[in-house]
Amino acid sequence: MSRYVVTGTNRGIGLEFVRQLLAQGHSVVATARDPDTVPALQAMRGLNSQLSLLPLDLADENSINAFAERMSATPIDVLINNAGIYGPRQASLGQLRTADWEEVMLVDLIAPIMLTQALLPALRRGTDKRIAFLSSIMGSIADNSGGGAYLYRSAKAGLNQAVKSLSVDLAKENFIVLPLHPGWVKTDMGGPSAQIDVHTSVTGLLQRIQTAGAAESGKFLNYDGNTIAW
């Protein structure tokens, strides 16, 4: 079985990644800002020795570096960059604030790439060599007919571009690098009117992560395997 690192596992999609990966028999390093305060993670750790919980705050570069140092002697087979934020819901045109935009860009775009860079030595020692990023169809310029959501859309569009470059740069080392849309999911971010539940989303996402080949690396994929226009 493989060793996975998953970020943002305190709830929603990240927590479901942990559940399903443990059920598949994998070793999982689950991160959150304060995993000791997440009852669901604590309960799973009590039942499964394959789960490790480590603190990681993607808004704090020192936290990223400390996590990477802690993982430096541990081969990582698969990294799932799941953590992200939407930003203030009221951040529409006329209400945009620089500080809000900077926070979303940091957590959703810059931090996942910096974390991946910091973990590359451990990923290179792994066998699977797979890196996934939870993006969003809201980062698709071709799909944007609704406007608004300036912070989240721009951060995810930027993430897509960075991940595409990463897939090109790491291709010679046989890494599979994927920007993935989880669907419109019933989570705190997606809301109760969303189309699918977290189990459906994560089941599809794991199929993409675990089975994608070199031909799929760098493509913007939906959880169901369909390609999304940039």
Could you read off the pLDDT tens digit of each residue along the chain, which spans 230 residues?
999 999 999 999 999 999 999 999 999 999 999 999 999 999 999 999 999 999 999 999 999 999 999 999 999 999 999 999 999 988 999 999 999 999 999 999 999 999 999 999 999 999 999 999 999 999 999 999 999 999 999 999 999 999 999 999 999 999 999 999 999 886 766 667 668 899 999 999 999 999 999 999 999 999 999 999 99
Written as one string, the DSSP assignment of 90-131 is T--TTS--HHHHHHHHIIIIIHHHHHHHHHHHHHHHSSS-EE
pTM comes to: 0.96
Cβ atoms 179, 133 nearer than 8 A: yes
Neighbours of 64 (CB within 10 A): 20
Cross-strand bridge partners of residue 185: 196
Domains in the chain (CATH in brackets) are: 3-222 (3.40.50.720)
Q: How far apart are CA 180 and CA 220, in angstroms?
A: 6
Cβ atoms 204, 225 nearer than 8 A: yes
**3-class DSSP state for residue 176?**
strand
